[in-house]
Amino acid sequence: MERVRDEGIKELERYRDLPDVTAGSLEAAVQYVLEKIDNNLAVFAAKFPAPCSRNNIYPAIDNIEWTSSFWTGMLWLAYEITGRECYRQTAEAQLASYAKRINDKTATDTHDLGFLYSLSCVAAYKLTGNELAKQTALKAANLLINRYFEKARIIQAWGNLNDPNQRGRMIIDCCMNLPLLYWASIMTGDARYFNIAFNHARQAATYLIREDASTYHTFYMNVDTGEPLYGKTAQGYADNSCWARGQAWAIYGFPLSYIYAHDPELIAINKKLCNYFLNRLPQDEICYWDLIFTGGPEERDSSAAAIAVCGLLETAKRLPLSDPYRRIYENAALKILKSLIENYTTKNVPESNGLLVHGVYSKPGNLGVDECCIWGDYFYFEALVRVLKHWRLYW
């Protein structure tokens, strides 16, 4: 991975010191999250929040989107941090809908089976030993590996495998879907899941990461020959710009593969991705929706910021104590988190049923622009839990 340049951190002094985030402010932030969850508990018991809000309010929908599990995952985090049964019971009651979805193959033509089943069923199994959850997550892993192309060594992201517009297309987000497969290998003793996940992670590092340590959102492979074709954006500003959330998915996703595969190149390259990301943050530390923007009136993406906090913290954990970047990434993560707590929650939007304002789902698609995004809420909560307790990952 020598081909990828490292910019280092351009304004090192910005992240040299531990930011002033008190335990009290973190606990108050968690209390706010719990209040929101409590208010949503009845509405989102049999239903799920839509991926993004409308006027800062999530509509309630069935379990049909790639995002259902972010809500269920928040319930598991709430259960872990409080021990309150109401959260566990609601999360457990939702497991049947995940089982039905996988059995009926409802909207399962997607690599996002990883997101969907890690935060719902794998989390349930890890926290409570629930056997239905384990079997359901294994079924999801089996569907996910059907999307793998042997020659190209990638998992196709979207759509039917014969769809000419999607065939052989991998996307950076998929790094977050791979832990389901690593987990399935551990559960079954079958190395196939691991090999598919790891091969995909390596191909993602090779083709989705550009030489300047930015990322393409998507990249096409010729699945018949295994040849790399070309990068293209879907949710970013341009094919050659860097979609902020894509970079954030990478920053969190590669260390997740490292946890299971112990490939030091994945952490080495991830430092370059983290540096690229941090070098493009505006003064309040919350990225614009595409990193081509570093100032001006374009929208921020608070959801990308929340994902990046978790990714920076996970990356820091995987670096040796002697690595100066370990402290820098921890400080940067806390600085971003502090800004989210202080300036990006729905505190001033009391009618909202979400947590973070100013997220962007898809600017080119004119979808969820400057709205709450349910994954932003989940990763904001995960980030808070990570800094307040020793947290065992659901991923």
Point out which residues bind ligand GLY (CB under 6 A): 173, 235, 245, 361
Of residues 173, 290, 301, 377, which has the active-site annotation? 173
User: Which of 48/125 has CB closer to ligand GLY?
Assistant: 48
By C-alpha distance, which of 256, 367, 251 is closest to 312? 251
CB 239 within 8 Å of CB 232: yes
Q: Nearest distance from residue 379's CB to ligand GLY, in Å?
A: 11
Select which of 112, 290, 301, 377 is catalytic. Answer: 112
In DSSP terms, which residues pair with 232 in a beta bridge? 218
- Which residue, 383, 186, 213, is CA-closest to 291? 213
Closer to ligand GLY by Cβ: residue 109 or 330: 109
264 φ/ψ angles, rounded to the nearest 5 degrees: -65, -25
Question: Which CB, 26 or 172, lies closer to ligand GLY?
Answer: 172
Report the helix count and the strand count for the chain, using DSSP H and E. Answer: 13, 9
Residue with the CB atom nearest ligand GLY in the bound state: 173
- Least CB distance from residue 382 to ligand GLY, whole Å? 15
CA distance 249 to 308: 7
Distances (CA, A) of 319 to 253, 325, 328: 15, 8, 11
* Closest distance to ligand GLY from the beta carbon of 361 (Å): 6
> Residue 65 carries which DSSP code?
S
Q: Do the beta carbons of residue 332 and residue 312 sit within 8 Å?
A: yes
Nearer to ligand GLY, 252 or 361 (CB): 361
- Catalytic site includes residue 17: no
Task: State how far the Cα of 305 lies from the Cα of 333, in Å rounded to an integer.
Answer: 9
* Residue 112 a catalytic site member: yes
- The CB-of-336 to ligand GLY minimum distance in angstroms stands at 18
Show which residues are catalytic: 112, 173
